[in-house]
Chain A
Amino acid sequence: MIDEELQRLFHQASAKVVFLVDKNGQLIASAGETRDIDTTSLASLTAGNIAATGGIARLLGEKEFTILFHEGEKDNIHISLIGQRVILVVIFDKRSSLGLVRLRVKKASEALVRIFHEITSKADKEKSEGKLDESPFAEISDEDIDNLFK
């Protein structure tokens, strides 16, 4: 569902790349021309950027700044905070415009907030009913861990 929404935003905003990062800097999902981009580093730097901006906001007595926009010679980047927990990043060039990106991001954000809400309530429900699947990590052995460091 999240992937679908990102794909839709990617097309509707005529973006180059769209991706979703959690506030700790982990990449959740992406859409578009990600091949030439170091998405791991980009995710971590974006989260750092949002964290720093959040720090500035608190110093000024604001709760947070929800939108960041950086303009480059060729590419621009639009970063927005969704539902206070995930970061939506849109990279676009002259094929699109800031106005279009802002409009489409707003729509996509609303849809994503709904999706996250559904996922959370579903997970809570399953938890309370004790339906959660047995995790694959419960069976990690010391040997598995040692093998990583050979």
Chain B
Amino acid sequence: MSFINYSSREINCKIVYYGPGLCGKTTNLQYVYKKTNPEQKGKLISLATETERTLFFDFLPLALGDIKGFKVRFHLYTVPGQVFYAASRKLILKGVDGVVFVADSQIERMEANIESLDDLRINLAEQGYELDKLPYTIQHNKRDLSNVAPLENMNKLLNSRKVPWFEGCAVTGVGVFETLKNVAKQVLIELKKHY
């Protein structure tokens, strides 16, 4: 749930990047961090293992600007993708306002994508959320690789709700800001409905 601080006139929203291990969630955040003006961003915090796999979460606060005199901030989080970090993954979803599902486009990762999406649904339900009611965007990442599945197939498998989706290559930044903007916009529209 968005956090509105009337005394400091701030709106804080939480966006979580979800997806299977090595799909590029952290890379998305790193690209956003690299390309944002210093005055708009906080530190990028990565709680990672020695081999740079996310252990608990990555965190990046972004200040986008003002709406009706309120400072709008987005807190971007990633979850650890690896299957055995399930317990930690659940915790990050607390208080989420919007979800980005980063799918790995490589054919051999389709099963991992499906498994991760099921895991997302279950974990959200445990926190009392329904994926079908949350602001939600999908990024089909790694489109630059040669062994990728056709987009049509990926959408059939992963996007039954037909939410907005983008092609991505997070390493070079393709689709990164488009994805973020889309989910942020959905979050703000949701905010408008509820307050």
Contact = CB atoms under 8 A, between A and B. Distances in A.
Q: Please indicate whether A and B come from the same complex rather than being unrelated chains.
A: yes
Interface of A: 3, 22-26, 28-29, 38, 40-41, 44-45, 47-48, 51-52, 54-55, 135-140, 144-145, 147-149
A22 B3 contact: yes
Contact of B181 (A38, A44, A144, A149): A149
Interface of B: 1, 3-5, 7, 11-12, 14, 42-43, 45, 47, 56-57, 59, 61, 64-65, 67-70, 72, 75, 77, 87-88, 90-92, 94-95, 181, 184-185, 188-189, 191-192, 195
B64 A41 contact: no
A114 B117 CA distance: 42
A50 to B, nearest CB: 9
10 contacts: A25-B95, A40-B61, A41-B42, A44-B77, A48-B91, A137-B4, A137-B191, A140-B192, A148-B188, A149-B181
A133 to B, nearest CB: 10
A24 B95 contact: yes
B94 A144 contact: no
B87 A55 contact: yes
Contacts of B189: 145
A19 to B, nearest CB: 13
A45 B185 contact: no
B43 A38 contact: yes
Contacts of A145: 67, 185, 188-189
The 7 A-B residue pairs whose C-beta atoms are closest, nearest first, are: A24-B95, A51-B91, A26-B3, A135-B195, A137-B195, A148-B64, A140-B192
Contacts of B69: 136
A136 B70 contact: yes
A45 B92 CA distance: 11
A28 to B, nearest CB: 7
B124 to A, nearest CB: 14
A26 B47 CA distance: 18
Contacts of B87: 55
Given A40-B61, A44-B59, A48-B57, A24 B14 contact: yes
A145 B13 CA distance: 14
Contacts of A40: 42, 61, 75
B88 A52 contact: yes
A45 B70 CA distance: 24
A44 B58 CA distance: 10
A25 B75 contact: yes
Contacts of B14: 24-25
Nearest to A50: B91
Contact of A38 (B42, B95, B191): B42
B33 to A, nearest CB: 13
A41 B95 contact: no
Of listed A28, A41, A54, residue having the most chain B CB within 10 A: A41
A144 B11 CA distance: 14
Contacts of A48: 47, 56-57, 91-92
Contacts of A28: 5
Given A23-B95, A25-B75, A26-B12, A52 B195 contact: no
A136 B188 contact: no
